[in-house]
Structure 1
Amino acid sequence: MTGFVVAIPARYAASRLPGKPLRLLGGEPLVLHVARRALLAGAREVWVATDDRRIADALDGMDEVRVAMTDAGHSSGTDRLAECARIAGWDDATVVVNLQGDEPFAPAAGIRAVAEALVDGTAPMSTLATPVEDAGTLFDPNVVKLVRNVRNEAMYFSRAPIAWHRDGFARSREVLPQGAQWLRHIGIYGYRAGFLQQFAAMPPGTLEQMESLEQLRVLEAGFPISVGLSPAPFPPGIDTPEDLERAQALLAAGTTIA
């Protein structure tokens, strides 16, 4: 997959880990690791959309990465990337991959896969999923689950364990019932630049506000989202100090994803 761009939203004032893009991982700011992953995936352009000059300064010396200084008042990464797209001057057909700024181990194959899911499908937006492997993950409200249809388009995203296995969970919620499969959502997205502007202009939906999941805005507005399966493991992103400690250990062990 060639010809796509990667945009990385990097807000300084993260609520659970303030200054997250500048937190050190292996002695380097987190945002540098994420930008390198985007370059490794073969994106023709890599942009970091930020609201803080310190984050832009941390990227000095990475000539392949461009910085868009965006409004500090954006309420979401989608709004920030929509402004980035306008600054970059992408035409409406440009394939944009939204790689979260807290994904230092995002596999190159996964970044390409979300672009491929967009190009190969008919939906204006794409994302990735991976199988759920244990009941603890399925019942964790911090882990987003999804169900998709025969066209590999999302039917719903939820923090709840969907679909609900009536008979299996009546017996036990400690193990996954045999013969069924659940999908965990991976928070990476692809869209055409034109639809990115349309998405950012949509009012928040009721389901989005209930679940605190922005992608539900798209489904509630009647647009499909293509869902591909990630071809490589996607280690969890970094949201908390504990996540950062785990990432340090993963990096030190040399077990990060290529």
Structure 2
Amino acid sequence: MNNSIINQRGDSVTMSSREIAELVESRHDSVKRTIERLAERKVIGSPPMVEYLDGLGRPATEYLFSGEKGKRDSLVVVAQLSPEFTGALVDRWQKLEAQQADVSLDTDEGKLLVIQGLATKQLALIAENKRVTQQRDYAIETKAEIGSRREATAMATASAAVRQANQLKEELGRGLRQATVAAVEKIAKRKFGKQGFRPLKNWCAENGIQAPKVHDPRYGWVRSWPAAAWAAVYHIDLAELFGAYGEQA
């Protein structure tokens, strides 16, 4: 590649339409027409035209791309001409920019820019580390919160299951608050006789308490007598009786 067509003006790296033509192996006049067509269609900006002397010493013109805008527009031109050379153009820009960086490092201003660049990168690294740490802490807090919610949900579900089981026991006449004669006989291993319910019935009548009816598979519907009646009449504590043996009942 002819290095005479590579230019650097001030702080901007430049690339000419001739270099692009050489890179994509195309005629320079064809590249210039493509640049003019894309500029007319507002696809790219209109790059400045400069004069140079060709190989025979005759004056000629070329387009000059510079800066980030020029870099972008040159990529569009190459993509239009020969897309397969886009990567090569990117490599060429990077090489030119690296060459400019090497030259600028020799000056005090260049050294200052390097120091500033390193400081900026350091600050960016600190900010990134802080962001990662915050995300990690948030994830830990969120996980802990989710765990607490799940634990609370599990405990609530278990409590609901216990309440439902106790309610079922009450409905079957063998709970802590009330029980049928048959249920107490089974757990306490005692027999109260066919009329064993009457003392319980009399106690309820005297105390104005209505004993509820529960379903019994043998007798249909029977009375489930309150714990107070059992305690007063037969000195039986349903809480103690069914609390210890409720599962077997």
- TM-score interval, smaller chain: under 0.3
Q: TM-score, normalised by structure 2?
A: 0.20
Q: Which has the higher strand share?
A: 1
Q: Which has the larger radius of gyration?
A: 2
Structure with greater proportional helix content? 2
